Amino acid sequence: MILHDFPLAPNPRRVRMFLAEKRIMVPRVQVDIRDGAQFAEGFRRRNPWSTVPVLELDDGCCIAESVAICRYFEERHPEPSLFGRDAREKARIEMWNRRAELDGYVPLADAVRNRLARFADRAVAGLPSGFPQIPAVAVRGLERYRLFLERLDRRLAERPFLAGERFSIADITAFVTVEFANRIDERIPEGHRHLARWYAAVAARPSAAA
């Protein structure tokens, strides 16, 4: 088994944090997406979407999508559970992870990719060209990301972690998103003290360095 990884990218980081929480060691190979290695034929055969991470199993089966990879490891190594143990907890975690991804990460990624010069003509991940940056998309992405942070702060006033009392995949998705926002110098706003408390607690976990 091998994980196709890239140290500077947020989605592979989600998987690395997940593995670190479960203390699972997986050999990794680096795909330098800044150099276009995701578009090389060998990689495209593994993932035609040309994105990392990709988990390649020993029989050659390739699993892309961070959450799909994490689910694979959750099935194989159920403890500590990061997707929930019973129907109610699983559903709550799914709800918060979807919110973190769809209302947090995706708008923020739009803001980053439609703003940074490095992504000129590459505003969509996994495509070598043909998607020019649209400044208005960056603006709207940032507005939506800030709304997400406001909602997160309110949620974290009630509970230590996104889905409740226990750390979960939803916290990993949200944490990696908040750190990704540093790329465009977007920080946790002053006054979001519950969010700041949660952020400090997650940053102090050994998995945050993975």
Ligand X SMILES: N[C@@H](CCC(=O)N[C@@H](CS)C(=O)NCC(=O)O)C(=O)O
| Listed ranges 3-11, 136-144, 154-162, 187-195: which one lies at the site for ligand X (CB under 6 A) | 3-11
Q: How far apart are CA 119 and CA 146, in angstroms?
A: 22
Largest CA distance in the chain: 51
Decide if 192 contacts 150 (C-beta within 8 A): yes
What type of residue is 6? F
Q: List the beta bridge partners of residue 30.
A: 5
Q: How far apart are CA 9 and CA 33, in angstroms?
A: 9
Q: CA Rg, the chain, in Å? A: 17
Query: Which one, 160 or 179, has the nearer CB to ligand X?
Result: 179
CA end-to-end distance (rounded Å), the chain: 18
Which listed residue (3, 17, 19, 52) binds ligand X by CB under 6 A? 52
User: Is residue 51 part of the contact set for ligand X (CB under 6 A)?
Assistant: yes
Query: Which one, 33 or 100, has the nearer CB to ligand X?
Result: 33
State the number of binding residues for ligand X (CB under 6 A).
13
Q: Per-residue x/- mask for ligand X, residues 139 to 168, rule CB under 6 A?
A: ------------------------------
Which listed residue (4, 11, 83, 141) binds ligand X by CB under 6 A? 11
CA dihedral of residues 178, 66, 205, 79 (deg, nearest 10): 150
| Listed ranges 19-27, 48-56, 89-97, 186-194: which one lies at the site for ligand X (CB under 6 A) | 48-56
Which listed residue (3, 10, 70, 195) binds ligand X by CB under 6 A? 10
The closest alpha carbon to 208, from 60, 32, 20, belongs to 20
User: Is residue 177 part of the contact set for ligand X (CB under 6 A)?
Assistant: no
Query: Which one, 64 or 152, has the nearer CB to ligand X?
Result: 64
Q: How far apart are CA 75 and CA 114, in angstroms?
A: 36
Query: 107-136: which residues touch ligand X (CB under 6 A)?
Result: 125-126
Residues near ligand X (CB under 6 A) are 9-11, 33, 38, 50-53, 65-66, 125-126
